């Protein structure tokens, strides 16, 4: 910098700083020792109030989320927040919850943990949201886990199957939504063992937590080292020929997939090129039929996907479920008729679950009453088994159902498995019926 520039800037800064130092009061902590940082900028949190109602006004409740709308990860996920927004618009048009409409602020983080930290702080400290709902992604949400819990912000229904969200002791404010990957891996493996006891089972997994957890789940069933062959792929390389070749060479008959939708499509497409048609058992993260068809193309997709086994815990797209019918209608009316797929159902289901929790949190919700509503065990959600939230369990779904694609329709087969304490058990599915047009009354 030139010296004149520096000198002038220095003078200006010195002058400005004199003014700023005068403003010290506006940034010093509130008088209590343990004041949460978020409350320091203003003095709205009066101690007489029974709880923290940040983000709640007479007629609105403001909540926020972080999700990738740009960057390579946006392709698979950007429709989730749009679906949730559509459901909230439907809910608000029908009176909201306890007369309050829900404002859902969606922030793009590009699946970059550093951006996630920035936007979540903005949501909490600038936009003063009541809760973070359905923040998406394992690495991204991991980056804000400590921040949200230190600031005592309800961190509801994280969109990822990592087991990190179910740590009530360490992270009392965080709750997961997806059935975790261990559960999914175990359920798929158990189904394989039950239905095809003599077949060689292998696994193709992403080279991160996702793959590790699925392997862990599968080994609950088959024992450590019980899988015939394991191959890993990296999202940065869209060529899985070498991996598929190795699976084929190992004589695999059933391939468990810990893959996101794009790589499920790649795996199926590549093996079809080899003329190799084993059975594919995919995690719910990579088993969404409409999405897979768009990847594979309308012409060959349906044929390749015939018989694809997957897991799910939400109303299934292929069923004539009343939830699905309603969600389809909401998608038409409030989401500009965007493509209706598993992500749409997922986004609306999460939004519905939040509305249910908010309704249960009472006429005048506080962060405390919201958490109490979730941990009370009274929430049902809209899945094929009731939500399993409780004081000491922050995972939404401990059981999943097995789905299969048949003639272009993906629906439940009936087999449902739950995992508890490291053992897999078959359970009865108990789908939650639609009530009051998905408008929680409280």
Partner 1 sequence: MNRIAPSLTGAPRTIVMGAVLTVVAIAATFGLDPYRNFQLATIVAYFCAVAGLTLLVGLTGQLSLGHAALMAVGGYAYALTASLATDMGLDGLPRFLLGMAGAIAASTLHGLLLGLAGARLHGPYLAGLTLGIAIALPAVTAQFSGVLGGDQGLRIDRDDVPAVLSRLIVVEQWQAWVAIMIAGVVVTGLAAVRRSSLGLRMRAVRDDETAARLSGVPAGRVKVVAFTLSSVAAGAGGAALCFVTQSVSPGAYTLAFSLLLVVAAVVGGLGSIGGAALGAALIVMLPWLVATLTDLVDMPAELEQRLSGNLGLLVFGALLIIVMLARPGGLAGLRRGRRTRRTSAEDPTPPSGPDAVAATSPTGATAADPAPASALREMPANDQPRTPQTVLQSPTERER
Partner 2 sequence: MDHLLFLIATGLARGAIFALFALSLVLIWRAARIINFAQGAMALVATYAAFAVTGMTGSYWAGLGAGILAGAAIGLGVERGLMRFTRDSHPLAGIIVAIGLVMVLQALLGIFFGQQHRPMHTPFSDSPLTVGGVPLLSPYDIFVLVVALAVMGGLALLFNRTSMGLQLRASAFSPEVSRVLGVRVSLMVTVGWMLSAAVAALAAMLLVPTELGLNPHSTDVLFVYAFTVAVVGGLDSPVGALLGGLVVGVAMTLVTGYLGATFAPIGVLVLLVVVLLVKPGGIFSMREARSA
Under rule CB under 8 A, which residues in 403-432 are in contact with partner 1?
none
For partner 1, the closer of residues 214 and 387 by Cβ is: 214
Q: How far is the CB of 405 from partner 2 (least distance, A)?
A: 18
Q: Which stretch binds partner 2 (CB under 8 A): 22-30, 67-75, 116-124, 375-383?
A: 67-75
- Single out the residue of 155, 184, 209, 321 in contact with partner 1 (rule: CB under 8 A): 209
- Strands, DSSP E only, in 209-313? 230-233, 254-258, 279-282, 309-312
Kindly report each contact of residues 303-306 with a partner whose C-beta sits within 8 Å and lies 24 or more positions away, as own/partner.
304/268, 304/269, 304/272, 305/268, 305/405, 306/405, 306/406, 306/407
> Distance from first CA to last CA of the chain, Å, rounded?
62
In sequence order, the β-bridge partners of residue 159 are 136
Q: Which stretch binds partner 1 (CB under 8 A): 74-82, 244-252, 284-292, 382-390?
A: 74-82
Q: Is 338 exposed, middle or buried (0-12, 13-18, 19+ CB in 10 A)?
A: middle
- Single out the residue of 53, 62, 134, 138 in contact with partner 1 (rule: CB under 8 A): 138
Q: Which of partner 1, partner 2, none has residue 172 at its interface (CB below 5 to 8 Å by kind)?
A: none
For partner 2, the closer of residues 237 and 436 by Cβ is: 237
For residue 71, state whether it binds partner 2 (rule: CB under 8 A): yes
Q: How many residues does the chain have?
A: 442
For partner 2, the closer of residues 245 and 302 by Cβ is: 245
Q: Which of partner 1, partner 2, none has residue 14 at its interface (CB below 5 to 8 Å by kind)?
A: partner 1
- Single out the residue of 1, 43, 48, 249 in contact with partner 1 (rule: CB under 8 A): 1
For partner 1, the closer of residues 19 and 249 by Cβ is: 19
CA angle 241, 215, 411 (to 5 degrees): 80
Q: Which of partner 2, partner 1, none has residue 251 at its interface (CB below 5 to 8 Å by kind)?
A: none
Residues 6+ positions from 260 with CB-CB distance below 8 Å: 76, 206, 210, 235, 285, 286
Token representation of residue 26: 């506006």
For residue 122, state whether it binds partner 1 (rule: CB under 8 A): yes
- Single out the residue of 49, 146, 420, 435 in contact with partner 1 (rule: CB under 8 A): 146
Under rule CB under 8 A, which residues in 85-114 are in contact with partner 1?
85-86, 106-108, 110-114
Q: What is d(CA 372, CA 72) in angstroms, rounded to the nearest whole number?
A: 38
Q: Which of partner 2, partner 1, none has residue 273 at its interface (CB below 5 to 8 Å by kind)?
A: partner 2
Q: Which of partner 2, partner 1, none has residue 407 at its interface (CB below 5 to 8 Å by kind)?
A: none
Q: State residue 217 phi and psi, 5-degree precision.
A: -65, -45
Under rule CB under 8 A, which residues in 231-290 are in contact with partner 2?
232-234, 236-243, 245-246, 249, 262, 265-266, 272-275
CB 429 within 8 A of CB 402: no
For residue 170, state whether it binds partner 1 (rule: CB under 8 A): no
For residue 337, state whether it binds partner 2 (rule: CB under 8 A): no
Token pair 């923040």 in the structure block, residue:
135
CA angle 247, 277, 214 (to 5 degrees): 50
CB 265 within 8 A of CB 298: no
CA angle 335, 341, 342 (to 5 degrees): 115
Q: Which of partner 2, partner 1, none has residue 112 at its interface (CB below 5 to 8 Å by kind)?
A: partner 1
Size of the site for partner 2 (CB under 8 A): 34
CB 234 within 8 A of CB 203: no
- Strands, DSSP E only, in 86-198? 101-108, 131-133, 155-158, 174-176
Q: Is 196 exposed, middle or buried (0-12, 13-18, 19+ CB in 10 A)?
A: middle
Q: How many CB atoms lie within 10 A of CB 1?
A: 7
Residues that bind partner 1 (CB under 8 A): 1-7, 9-11, 13-14, 16-17, 19-21, 23-24, 26-29, 33, 35, 37-38, 40-41, 69-71, 74, 78, 82, 85-86, 106-108, 110-115, 117-118, 121-122, 125-126, 138-140, 142-143, 146, 150, 207-209, 234, 236, 335-336, 338
Interface residue list for partner 2 (CB under 8 A): 69-72, 74-75, 78, 207, 232-234, 236-243, 245-246, 249, 262, 265-266, 272-275, 294-297, 299
């Amino acid at each position: 910098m030139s010296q004149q520039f520096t000198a002038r800037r220095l003078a200006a800064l010195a002058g400005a700083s004199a003014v700023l130092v005068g403003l010290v009061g506006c940034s010093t902590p509130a008088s209590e020792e343990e004041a949460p940082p978020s409350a320091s900028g203003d003095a709205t949190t009066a101690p007489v109030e029974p709880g923290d109602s940040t983000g709640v006004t007479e007629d609105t409740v403001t909540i926020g989320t972080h999700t990738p709308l740009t960057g390579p990860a946006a392709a698979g996920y950007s429709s989730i927040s749009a679906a949730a927004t559509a459901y909230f618009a439907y809910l608000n048009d029908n009176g909201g919850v306890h007369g309050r409409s829900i404002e859902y602020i969606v922030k793009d983080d590009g699946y970059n943990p550093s951006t996630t930290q920035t936007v979540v702080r903005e949501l909490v400290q600038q936009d003063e949201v009541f809760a973070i709902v359905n923040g998406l992604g394992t690495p991204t949400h991991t980056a804000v886990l400590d921040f949200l819990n230190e600031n005592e912000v309800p961190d509801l229904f994280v969109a990822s199957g990592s087991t990190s969200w179910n740590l009530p002791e360490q992270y009392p404010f965080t709750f997961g939504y997806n059935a975790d990957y261990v559960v999914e891996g175990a359920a798929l493996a158990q189904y394989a063992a039950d239905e095809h006891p003599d077949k060689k089972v292998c696994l193709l997994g992403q080279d991160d937590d996702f793959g590790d957890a699925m392997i862990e789940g599968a080994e609950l069933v088959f024992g450590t080292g019980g899988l015939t062959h394991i191959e890993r792929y990296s999202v940065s390389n869209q060529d899985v020929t070498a991996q598929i070749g190795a699976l084929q060479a190992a004589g695999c008959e059933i391939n468990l997939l810990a893959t996101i939708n794009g790589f499920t499509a790649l795996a199926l497409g590549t093996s079809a090129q080899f003329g190799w048609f084993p059975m594919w058992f995919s995690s719910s993260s990579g088993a969404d039929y409409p999405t897979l068809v768009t990847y594979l193309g309308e012409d060959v997709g349906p044929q390749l996907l015939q018989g694809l086994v997957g897991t799910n815990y939400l109303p299934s797209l292929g069923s004539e479920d009343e939830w699905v019918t309603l969600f389809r209608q909401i998608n038409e009316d409030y989401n500009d008729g965007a493509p209706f797929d598993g992500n749409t159902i997922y986004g609306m289901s999460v939004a519905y679950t939040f509305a249910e929790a908010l309704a249960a949190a009472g006429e005048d919700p506080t962060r405390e009453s919201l958490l109490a509503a979730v941990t009370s065990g009274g929430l049902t959600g809209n899945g094929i088994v009731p939500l399993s939230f409780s004081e000491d369990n922050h995972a939404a779904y401990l059981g999943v159902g097995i789905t299969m694609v048949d003639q272009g329709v993906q629906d439940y087969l009936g087999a449902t498995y739950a995992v508890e304490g490291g053992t897999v058990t078959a359970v009865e599915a108990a789908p939650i019926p639609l009530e009051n047009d998905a408008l929680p009354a409280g």
